[in-house]
Structure 1
Amino acid sequence: MTRTVEWQVGLVLVEEDGTTRARAVLDTGTTTYTGHGVARCNPQDVDVPEIGDELAASRAMKDLATQLMRVANRELESIGAGPEGGVPYGWPEAAT
């Protein structure tokens, strides 16, 4: 069986007063998930906006990925397909 789906991801970055906030939105066509990330510039550091963008964006996408892993773990568990011992797939923060 071949299956192709396309999920759309949007990323919004806003910088204000040395703080960059990111919002990553995933639209699966049936569900929308939103991840958030923040980066703050240390007052002693040189302000390089691109670095704040990269940090905040990566944190928002990691938040989004953790949410997806949690959903997948719950769905696997609901059909009895989870790993033995009840330890979820993925990384530790996706366990809850």
Structure 2
Amino acid sequence: MDFVYTEQQVRDVSDFLQLYMKKNNIPFLTADECAQALADASILTNTKGPKMGFNFREMLRQCRDGVFNNQVSGAYQRKPGARWKISYVG
């Protein structure tokens, strides 16, 4: 499956998540929690791919792999293959 995102989508996702965490006083979210928040806000679907949240994790992988100039702010993995966390960066 090919999931093609745009630089604008990456910016929108990043901006939304940072604002969401600020408004709700949340220091960090898991990728699944982010995927659900993005789906609830109709920013990025949560149901394509083999399991829930696949779309968001695929966007994170593409950012990590240099497909985009932008990154999702606060997103990190301790090592490739580890679970993603997204931190509020203020």
TM-score (norm 2): 0.28
Larger Rg: 1
Greater relative contact order (Cα 8 A, min sep 6): structure 1 or 2?
2
Q: Which has the higher strand share?
A: 1
